[in-house]
Amino acid sequence: MINIFGRHFFKLVVVVLLCFGPSFSHAVDGSEILVDTSFVREKIGQPGWTIVDMRYPEEYAEGHIPGAVPLPGWISKLYADDTKRSATVISRLEQQFGQMGIGSDSHVILYGAASRTSWNGVMFWVLELGGCNSEFASCTVQLYDGGIERWQKEGGELEEKKNSTTAATFTMTPGTNRGVNMEGLKNVIEGKDKAVIIDVRYPGEYDGTDIRALRGGHMPGAINIDFSQNYDPDSYRMLPVADLKSLYSEIPLDSRVITHCQTGQRAAYSYLVLRTLGYKNVAIYHDGWRVYGSNLSLPVEGETWFDFTKVNSTMKAVQELKDELE
């Protein structure tokens, strides 16, 4: 009798928890990160969902997915214009997200212009850096791959009005381990910590023939997988999963992976691709090569040097030609 009562009591507790207990947000991961047109259509106007247009303000004004809110340009350019990754940026991001109606429990769908692949990756990474798609927060972030061009091609209507939002509260959650600073990077290079470093720059930057800092070359042990290998050159859509798995086949799925480029934008797209493939422990060294390559205390493989003499000679020749034309 006691055992029967115990079993029924346990079932009752489970039912109560399911019906009235706390709801836990589903952490988006792997293949769920990319969404299609029908998914976006279903979420337009739904409570708790925010669709973000990552294009230029004037493009947003000319027509956007119904219900979408614009992304201020400074966020996409944040990791290209400024090497100061100060803590003050965090509070500014939190305030901006809140003004856009994005809260710590929101579900966000991102889209942009298909060809701006690197910009499209930055916002995804910033929100994951802030805790989305993790055990640390309830918010989720997904990408509508193909952007506004795909939406129109597949029959989606556009609207021109600027959508207003209800202010929300977004708090960047610490502990996501989505960013790597110089100290963390050095620990990997020196063998103190284990990780795969993927240099997503163009091959010329990697081998030192295209110099964009005081020195050219690459970090010791880094492998080069050019970020443009991840997408179709015509549609700018991400390549099929099978092709991408082949591209990253030598990197175990459970690896700690660090991506980097010159400023962080291209690295953000490769980060997005890796997350889509199911890599969970991915981060970005967001200072990029412009900081690393200009720090003469750091080791470089295939080291080359920026030729100031050649640049000065070129500038002098240009000035002389200009003087002649005048």
Same domain, 140 and 81: yes
What percent of the chain shows pLDDT beyond 70? 84
Is 71 in contact with 14 (CB distance < 8 Å)? no
Query: Does residue 262 sit within a domain?
Result: yes
Query: Does residue 167 sit within a domain?
Result: no
Residue 129 structural domain: 25-153
The whole-angstrom separation of Cα 207 and Cα 301 is 8
Give residue 96's pLDDT: 93
Query: Which CATH number do you get for residue 222?
Result: 3.40.250.10
The whole-angstrom separation of Cα 216 and Cα 289 is 9
Number of domains, the chain: 2
Give residue 228's pLDDT: 97
What percent of the chain shows pLDDT beyond 90? 74
Same domain, 30 and 146: yes
Query: Does residue 51 sit within a domain?
Result: yes
- Would you place residue 64 in the very low, low, confident or very high pLDDT band (cuts 50, 70, 90)? very high
Query: Does residue 4 sit within a domain?
Result: no
Query: Which pair of structure tokens corresponds to residue 209?
Result: 């023939």
Which residues are registered as beta bridge partners of 199?
A: 224, 260
Same domain, 204 and 102: no
Phi, psi of 259 (to 5 degrees): -105, 150
Q: How many residues does the chain have?
A: 326
Tokens 């506004």 belong to 148
Query: Does residue 285 sit within a domain?
Result: yes
Same domain, 149 and 188: no
Instruction: Decide if pLDDT at 319 tops 60.
Output: yes
Same domain, 187 and 275: yes
Same domain, 120 and 60: yes
Over the stretch 175-210, which tens digit does the pLDDT of each residue have? 899 999 999 999 999 999 999 999 999 999 999 999
Q: Residue 115 half-sphere exposure, CB side, CA atoms within 13 Å?
A: 2
Give residue 314's pLDDT: 65
Same domain, 149 and 186: no
Query: Does residue 49 sit within a domain?
Result: yes
Same domain, 31 and 146: yes
Give residue 175's pLDDT: 85
Same domain, 293 and 190: yes
Same domain, 35 and 140: yes
Query: Does residue 6 sit within a domain?
Result: no
Helix axes 117-129, 265-276, angle to 10 degrees: 70
What pTM was estimated for this model as a whole? 0.86
The whole-angstrom separation of Cα 287 and Cα 187 is 16
Query: Does residue 12 sit within a domain?
Result: no
Is 172 in contact with 130 (CB distance < 8 Å)? yes
Same domain, 210 and 143: no
Same domain, 186 and 133: no
Query: Which pair of structure tokens corresponds to residue 85?
Result: 């990754």
